[in-house]
């Protein structure tokens, strides 16, 4: 039976995050992290079996396969990227140049750029091309320590192409069995140019959402409620339908303008409200008194050169805050969670303990995975990240480090 189990020993530090779970990711301080110097962990392909100091490793694990980290590497719960637009084709580097020269995201979108240019490239790409691109991206983000990734659709914007994107996710799960990949349907990312607004809403409400819910093609349904995109009424209708049919819900909320989408997320019991650049103190209080996780995406604010989301106010009010890459071709071409953690430390004024919580337990909460993920405790799923540094903080103190294969 020993052959099923493996151990990592002599980690310079092992952070379990047990206290983070006890406090459900809110008001977290250093002591909630539970750092174990010279740590060890025993796990099977499915579960964590034992965690503690290497010197206390029970003798019954004496004969199992052990990897000695020689006090040079640290162990943390597998990083969770809870907001990622992984599936698209094409490139928007020209648009990046236009933005650097002063054009706004909305101006570029009006000229046919933005999401629509990626929709054209994604629709014309073959399934094999899209899958190959997704594989390359997963291989890259895995090297930065990510073990769980939310994969959004949203660059198809038609019945056929949104279903094509969703069909790639089970294939990726087979290819990356050691990663946890969740599927989020974001057909309501923008309106396509080849359907009327009313017709596309009908496609979403009457065809896509019911089919996706019935066939369990996605875990969650997300809507981009913002100025120039879906209105609060349209978003409400779509999300209500998705929720009724058993999908989890998430919202791209209050990023470009204030729409009240954060309050809608709280009202509907969404797993998360994401972006939150324009929220008010009323929204902050509402989030703090709800189970909805505030997902902050500082890489996007950095790329768009906008103000950063109010992380400090949210955390101080008692909200559960998560961080994610928002990897996408237009507003944040970044697959590295550690870079996002650097931005959080420098610009969101988050502490080490808050950053740790935001990319582990709270990010798992934002995907509804927290009952079995987000901390390194006995019985939890075995998603483990080994960092090539002696301390967790070095993974984002060393800005933009390059992983060794
Ligand atoms: Zn997004």
29 Cα: distance to centroid of ligand 1 (angstroms): 29
Q: Who's near 290: CB < 8 A, 6+ residues apart?
A: 266, 269
Tens digits of pLDDT across the chain (405 residues): 445 899 999 999 999 999 999 999 999 999 999 999 999 999 998 899 999 999 999 999 888 999 999 999 999 999 999 999 999 999 888 888 888 888 887 788 888 788 889 999 999 999 999 999 999 999 999 999 999 999 999 999 999 999 999 999 999 999 999 999 999 999 999 999 999 999 999 999 999 999 999 999 999 999 999 998 999 999 999 999 999 999 999 999 999 999 999 999 999 999 999 999 999 999 999 999 999 999 999 999 999 888 999 999 999 999 999 999 999 999 899 999 999 999 999 999 999 999 999 999 999 999 999 999 999 999 999 999 999 999 999 999 999 888 874
67 Cα: distance to centroid of ligand 1 (angstroms): 38
6 Cα: distance to centroid of ligand 1 (angstroms): 37
224 Cα: distance to centroid of ligand 1 (angstroms): 8
383 Cα: distance to centroid of ligand 1 (angstroms): 24
198 Cα: distance to centroid of ligand 1 (angstroms): 23
- The residues with which 27 forms a beta bridge, in sequence order, are none
Classify residue 1 by burial, with Cβ atoms within 10 Å: 0-12, 13-18, 19+.
Answer: exposed
Return the DSSP state at 207: I
353 Cα: distance to centroid of ligand 1 (angstroms): 25
Residue that the structure tokens 């609060």 belong to: 232
- Identify the H or E element spanning 7: strand 6-15
Among 148, 219, 224, smallest CA distance to 184 is for: 219
Residue that the structure tokens 């420098």 belong to: 346
85 Cα: distance to centroid of ligand 1 (angstroms): 6
317 Cα: distance to centroid of ligand 1 (angstroms): 24
299 Cα: distance to centroid of ligand 1 (angstroms): 11
């Amino acid at each position: 039976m020993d052959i099923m189990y493996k151990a990592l020993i002599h980690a310079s530090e092992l952070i379990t995050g047990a206290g983070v779970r006890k406090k459900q990711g809110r008001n977290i301080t250093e002591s909630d992290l539970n750092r174990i110097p010279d740590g060890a962990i025993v796990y099977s392909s499915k579960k964590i079996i034992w965690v503690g100091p290497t010197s206390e490793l029970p003798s019954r694990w004496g004969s199992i396969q052990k990897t000695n980290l020689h006090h040079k590497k640290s162990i943390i719960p597998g990083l969770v990227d809870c907001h990622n637009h992984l599936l698209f084709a094409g490139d928007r580097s020209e648009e990046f140049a236009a933005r650097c020269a002063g054009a706004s995201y909305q101006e570029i979108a009006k000229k046919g750029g933005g999401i629509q240019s990626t929709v054209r490239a994604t629709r014309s790409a073959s399934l094999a091309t899209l899958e190959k691109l997704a594989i390359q991206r997963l291989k890259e983000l895995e090297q930065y320590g990510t073990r769980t990734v939310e994969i959004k659709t949203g660059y198809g914007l038609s019945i056929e192409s949104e279903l094509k994107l969703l069909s790639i996710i089970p294939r990726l799960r087979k290819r990356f069995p050691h990663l946890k990949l969740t599927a989020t349907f974001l057909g309501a990312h923008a309106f396509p140019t080849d359907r009327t607004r009313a017709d596309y809403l009908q496609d979403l409400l009457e065809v896509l959402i019911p089919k996706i819910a019935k066939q369990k093609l996605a875990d969650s349904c997300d809507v981009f409620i913002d100025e120039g995109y879906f209105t609060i009424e349209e978003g409400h209708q779509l999300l209500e339908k998705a929720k009724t049919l058993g999908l989890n819900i998430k919202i791209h909320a209050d990023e470009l303008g204030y729409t009240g989408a954060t309050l809608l997320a709280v009202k509907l019991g969404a797993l998360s409200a994401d972006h939150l650049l324009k929220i008010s103190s009323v929204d902050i209080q509402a989030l703090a008194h709800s189970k909805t996780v505030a997902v902050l995406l500082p890489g996007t604010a950095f790329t768009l050169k906008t103000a950063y989301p109010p992380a400090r106010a949210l955390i101080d009010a008692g909200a559960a805050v998560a961080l994610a890459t928002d990897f996408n071709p237009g507003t944040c071409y970044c697959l590295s969670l550690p870079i996002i953690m650097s931005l959080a430390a420098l610009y969101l004024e988050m502490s080490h303990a808050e950053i740790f919580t935001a990319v582990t337990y709270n990010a798992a909460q934002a995907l509804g995975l927290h009952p079995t993920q987000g901390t390194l405790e006995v019985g939890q799923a075995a998603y483990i990240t080994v960092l090539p540094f002696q301390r967790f903080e070095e993974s984002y103190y060393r800005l933009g480090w390059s992983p060794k294969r």
